[in-house]
Amino acid sequence: MGIEFNIDDYSKRMDGAVTSLKNEFSGLRTGRASASLLDPIIVDVYGSKMPINQVGTISVPDPRTISVQVWDKGQAEAVDKAIRESGLGLNPNLDGQLIRIPIPELNSERREELCKVASKYAENARVAVRNVRRDGMETLKKLEKNSDLSQDDQKNLSNEVQKITDLSIKIIDDLLQNKTKEIMSI
């Protein structure tokens, strides 16, 4: 059993880097309310720890506010406490079973900081894509060296690997450009 080459495997690995970047970008706070902002919060209720979305309904009534309608009135304070202690810099307002969370404006320094973080995430994704490309090219060279692949086939498959690399890098650059625009917009 020799070395095998499947272009789809390399394409999937590059897509994985892009998907990972999208997830990292969704966690970057832009000053706009998003229900996913509360995803990392775990609430201590009924003697166990539960994700916030399992103790109440999360909604975004306007671009600057997130609200949590707690299902059990007795757990509203525990949810409020979990949000305050989450490290997300949020200051919730408790009103019975409804918790309103105003999203503060981002100042220009914070915006620039977020843009740098976004750039770093994008660069990490580009490096991951290039590593997949290098892996693919090395595999093709080994196949040609072992006479399992003709020189023409090796050249054609190398061009295919380069095409999916270029496409993945372009997607990453577009995602970064859109995220930067989103962070800098008021």
pLDDT digits (tens, 9 = 90+) for 57-92: 999 998 889 999 999 988 999 999 998 887 677 889
pTM for the model? 0.65
Tokens of 102: 């105003």
Neighbours of 31 (CB within 10 A): 18
- Distance, in Å, from the CA atom of 183 to the CA atom of 30, rounded to the nearest integer, reads 5
Find the mean pLDDT for residues 39-53.
87
Helix (H, G, I), strand (E, B) or coil at 91: coil
- Among residues of the chain, what percentage have pLDDT more than 70? 95
- Orientation angle between helical segments 151-184 and 7-26, nearest 10 degrees: 10
Find the mean pLDDT for residues 35-52.
85
Domains and CATH numbers, the chain: 7-27+107-184 (1.10.132.20), 35-102 (3.30.1360.40)
Q: Is the pLDDT of residue 13 over 90?
A: yes
- Distance, in Å, from the CA atom of 90 to the CA atom of 111, rounded to the nearest integer, reads 17
**Residue the block writes with tokens 């750039």:** 119
Highest mean pLDDT among 36-40, 75-79, 103-107: 75-79
pLDDT interval class at 1 (50, 70, 90): very low
Q: Is the pLDDT of residue 177 over 60?
A: yes
Mean predicted lDDT score pLDDT of the chain:
88
Q: What letter represents residue 118's amino acid?
A: A
- DSSP lists the bridge partners of residue 66 as 101
